[in-house]
Chains A and B, each alone.
Chain A
Amino acid sequence: MKVGDPQLRRNLRAATRGIRQKRNAVVAEVEDWEELRVAGEAIKRDAMGRLDVLLEQLEDAVTRAGGKVHWARDAVEANAVIGDLVAGHDAREVVKVKSLTTDEIELNQALERRGITAIETDLAELIVQLSDDWPSHILVPAIHRNRSEIRDVFARELGLEGLSDDPEELTDAARRHLRQAFLRARVGVSGANFGIAETGTVGVVESEGNGRMCTTLPPVLITVMGIEKVLPAWRDLEVFLQLLPRSSTGERMNPYTSLWTGVSEDDGPGEFHLVLLDNGRTRVLADEVGRDALHCIRCSACLNVCPVYERVGGHAYGSIYPGPIGAILTPQLRGIPGDADELPWASSLCGACADVCPVKIDIPRLLVHLRSRVGGSDPALRLMGWAMAGRRRFEAAQLGRVPGMRTGIGLSAWTKGRDLPPPPRETFRQWWRRTRG
């Protein structure tokens, strides 16, 4: 999304405000919300401190329940494991539940290269996939698309002519289109919101029922789980099944939560594979301050309150993880120094994200910590910082006396995918003299 597109900005502002209000209402009715957050944070901190033991425990429990566990150091390894499994079943297509983790490893593209079609079954992911686009929000990936754009995509890509732009009609079209895919699919692919070390139970939290379809109907299920998603005990679900839905969609409970443990006779897939993915997570773990980013349960509450996200949208973060959480997670996952080093500077440190985070991640503290790690900001941001540190400097910039403020900075990585907005030509004092306020 572009800062200069007022329609998109209005869409995004209306959208984030709507979710924010719903979230606030359902959080306010929980008297022990703060105690739940404290517990949620402690469970995650505990899990990160003994992640090796818990993953081995999870592996044992899943294996005992008839599942198979695979390990992947990085995206290439994970994609190879999954591709081999799909090819091993002679399947040419898979049905997929919305999964940030599989987006992170670009699984669809990797499968495509092997001649395997990945069908996204979440409505927003389907829209994004059909329009050859990239998600812009963790929870509502097509938040940047309006109804008539979606109708056009369905008409063009699915051959569905004569559809109106009514959301109900578009949803019904997606249901009919995907029903056949669910019924014929031989392999389902999902992510995981949780993996319980104690019982080997894996869970997916969703709304549309596509998650139930993908994890129930195909005879083979492959689940990709980031290693940080492990929870020590069954009991821990009592905390996260309260924190997540209320923070995420602003509902007391999301429509469907599926929890399965290995395979069950005559119920669901006969074959279950769990792929445990590192892909930079152990690098995050090695930073004792930065590792708190691994506590994230992907609710997206921090996006919806972020003044920066609301204005620039998800695409500006250049990552599947946008917003405040993306600004601390992406650079660490990719490695510092790296191509996301400027993200910790994309914040005013207002702290709204920390207040809503259901597991109390102190995002501003991590941003400051990472700023010191990435070592100095981008030249464009340094220039802006200098110019905005005093009235005379900013006025000089406005009057075109600061090189670069109007023309941009050649060496800046920040401005490669973003605009550096030029300051208004008229200074505040000039405006005041002209209009008297």
Chain B
Amino acid sequence: MASRGRASPDHPDSRGRASPDHPGNGRGTGSSTARAAVLGRIRAATRTEAAQPMTVPRDYATRSPLAGPAVTDRFAERVAEYRASVHRIAPGEVAERVVVLARERSARRIVVAPGVPEDWRPDGIELVADRSLASSVLDGIDGVLSGCALAIAETGTIVLDGTARSGRRALTLVPDWHACVVSADQVVGSVPEAIAGLREAATAGRPLTFVSGPSATSDIELRRVEGVHGPRRLDVLLVEG
């Protein structure tokens, strides 16, 4: 059993999948008694209930009242309030802006999500392709350039969905600087619009990460400190027009 499903963090390729016959813990083996007992207790506790779903009143707003440029304006404003930086740029300007920002952030080597288009990739700094890089290797890289799945204006949130443009999760987590490109047509107004837009990704089993500003803590005397374990700097490149 020790060798099954075991992998080293230095060799992500060797990650084993859980085997269906993994001993001692699947349903039908060790915990089947517990399963039957818990379900039995639930049925005993709820036996007076109809097992039919109750109607949930959804009288809340499912669409944002904002439309057009007001949506991207709101997004830019809300991201900035998290002390992330927002850069509103034209479509051809991504690569040059990344170089400028990389210099400001003292980033010399950055890893690039595999689906990042050619014209976003700048010359003048070292770009590293993600060939299943070990986390310890990512830890030695200064930054990451990615796109995203969508963004939410009301909350200033970007959502990464594990596709080639967003990159796998570790890519946008381990390096200390994250430059994320959002195009204006990816920005939705409200949280319900985002959840509707992500249904397909969830159904397909893709991992989703909601990012609202850089990581933060208020654990010491409730004083907010930006930058704990995730990237300490977040630059959002908002492409309009």
Contacts and interface: CB of A to CB of B under 8 A. Distances in A.
Interface of A: 11, 14-15, 18-19, 31-32, 35-36, 38-39, 42-43, 45-46, 48-53, 55-56, 59, 63, 65-73, 77, 81, 84-85, 88-90, 121-124, 127, 140-143, 146-147, 150, 167-168, 170-171, 174-175, 178-179, 182-186, 196, 199-201, 207-210, 212-213, 216-220, 227, 232, 234-235, 237-239, 241-242, 245, 249, 251-264, 266-273, 276, 278, 282-283, 285-286, 288, 291
B162 interface: yes
Interface in B148-199: 152, 154-157, 162, 168-170, 173-174, 191-192, 194-196, 199
Most chain-B Cβ atoms within 10 A of its Cβ — which of A32, A208, A242?
Answer: A208
A331 B51 CA distance: 28
Given A89-B5, A208-B228, 19 more contacts: A15-B221, A18-B222, A42-B56, A46-B54, A46-B56, A49-B46, A63-B27, A66-B205, A140-B219, A186-B7, A212-B230, A216-B173, A217-B173, A238-B191, A241-B191, A253-B212, A254-B212, A255-B213, A267-B168
A171 B219 CA distance: 9
Contacts of B31: 70-72, 77, 81
A326 B203 CA distance: 35
Contact of B202 (A55, A90, A199, A257): A199
Nearest to B61: A32
Contacts of A67: 18
A209 B54 contact: no
B216 A36 contact: no
A279 B192 CA distance: 33
B56 A43 contact: yes
Contact of A212 (B57, B156, B169): B169
B2 A89 contact: yes
Given A183-B135, A217-B135, A270 B17 contact: yes
B49 interface: yes
B18 A263 contact: yes
Interface string B5-47: 1111100110111100010111100110011011101111110
B206 A264 contact: yes
B220 A171 contact: yes
A360 to B, nearest CB: 12
The number of chain B residues touching the other chain, given as a range, is 35 or more
Per CB-CB distance, the 9 closest pairs between chain A and chain B, nearest first, are A209-B230, A270-B15, A209-B229, A282-B41, A209-B215, A253-B155, A257-B210, A286-B45, A124-B219
A55 B169 CA distance: 27
B214 interface: yes
A264 B35 CA distance: 26
Contact of B45 (A140, A276, A282): A282
Interface of B: 1-2, 5-9, 12-13, 15-18, 22, 24-27, 30-31, 34-35, 37-39, 41-46, 48-62, 78, 82, 132, 135-136, 139, 152, 154-157, 162, 168-170, 173-174, 191-192, 194-196, 199, 202-203, 205-223, 225, 227-231
Given A67-B18, A89-B5, A208 B25 contact: no
Contacts of B61: 31-32, 35
Given A183-B135, A253-B210, A267-B207, A259 B54 contact: no
A254 B212 CA distance: 6
A128 to B, nearest CB: 10
B38 A170 contact: no
A273 B31 CA distance: 13
A286 B44 contact: yes
Given A18-B222, A255-B216, A238 B62 contact: yes
Contacts of A31: 61
Contact of A252 (B18, B206, B207, B212): B212
Contacts of A69: 27
Contacts of A43: 56
Given A142-B219, A267-B162, A48 B46 contact: yes
A19 B139 CA distance: 34
Contact of B54 (A42, A168, A200, A219): A42
Contacts of A220: 5
A212 to B, nearest CB: 5
Contact of B205 (A65, A235, A237, A273): A65
A63 B155 CA distance: 33
Contact of A38 (B57, B82, B222): B57
Contacts of B170: 216-217, 267-268
